[in-house]
Amino acid sequence: MPVFKHEEKLSPEYVPDKLLFREGEMQLLMSFFSSLLTDDKPFHVRVYLSGAVGTGKTSLAKLFGQTIEDKSKKIGRRIRFLHVNCRIHKSLYTILRKAAEQLDIDLPRRGFSDEDILEVLVNFLSSNKVRLILCLDEVEALIAEEGAAPIYLLTRSGEDIEEGSLLSLLLIFRELDFLERLDIQTLSGMGGSNIHLNEYDKQQLFEILRYRASEAFYKNAISDEVLEFLAEAASERKDARYAIDLLWRSGKFAEAEGSDVVTAEHARKALASVYPTIRRENLFYLSRDEKLILLAAARALSVNKTQVTAAEVFQLYKLVCEEVRSEAKGYTTFWETLQQLQELGFLRLSVRSEGSKGRKTYVYLPGIPAVLLEQELLKGFSRNHGPSAF
Which residues line the annotated binding site for ATP?
55-59, 200, 212
Same-domain status, 328 and 356: yes
Which residues line the annotated binding site?
55-59, 200, 212
- Is residue 3 domain-resident? no
pLDDT of the residue at 342 = 87
pLDDT of the residue at 128 = 93
Integer Cα distance of 257 and 267 in angstroms = 13
Same-domain status, 233 and 294: no
Q: How many domains does one find in the chain?
A: 3
Count of CB atoms situated within 10 Å of the CB of 28: 16
b/e burial code for range 320-358 (CB count within 10 A of at least 16 → b) = bbeebeeebbeeeebbebbeebeeeebbbeeeeeeeeee
- Is residue 12 domain-resident? no
Domain endpoint, select from 274, 309, 336? 274
β-strands 167-173, 131-137 pairing: parallel
Integer Cα distance of 349 and 341 in angstroms = 10
Integer Cα distance of 359 and 371 in angstroms = 28
Same-domain status, 31 and 109: yes
pLDDT of the residue at 385 = 39
Same-domain status, 91 and 132: yes
Q: Which helix (H) or strand (E) holds 136?
A: strand 131-137
Same-domain status, 92 and 204: no
- Is residue 1 domain-resident? no
Same-domain status, 90 and 108: yes
**Residue span of the structural domain in which 121 resides:** 22-197
Count of CB atoms situated within 10 Å of the CB of 274: 14
Same-domain status, 323 and 381: yes
β-strands 131-137, 79-85 pairing: parallel
Q: Residue 365, SS3? A: coil
Residue pair 199/238 in contact (Cβ under 8 Å)? The answer is yes
Q: Give pLDDT tens digits for 280-320.
A: 667 877 888 999 999 999 999 987 788 899 999 999 999 99
b/e burial code for range 64-80 (CB count within 10 A of at least 16 → b) = bbeebeeebeeeebebb
pLDDT of the residue at 386 = 45
- Is residue 209 domain-resident? yes
Same-domain status, 51 and 191: yes
Q: How far is CA 268 from the centre of its chain?
A: 18
Same-domain status, 321 and 191: no
Integer Cα distance of 305 and 201 in angstroms = 23
Domain endpoint, select from 170, 197, 224? 197
How confident is the prediction along the chain (390 residues), in pLDDT tens digits per residue? 799 999 999 998 999 999 999 999 999 999 999 999 998 877 889 899 999 989 999 999 999 999 999 999 999 999 999 999 998 898 999 999 999 999 999 888 777 889 999 999 999 998 999 999 999 999 988 988 888 788 888 887 756 555 557 899 999 998 766 666 565 555 555 566 889 999 999 999 999 999 999 999 999 999 999 999 999 989 988 999 999 999 999 999 999 999 999 999 999 999 888 765 566 667 877 888 999 999 999 999 987 788 899 999 999 999 999 988 889 999 999 999 999 898 887 888 988 887 777 788 999 887 678 888 888 888 766 555 344 444
Q: What is the DSSP letter of 354?
A: -
Same-domain status, 204 and 192: no
Domain endpoint, select from 197, 215, 242? 197
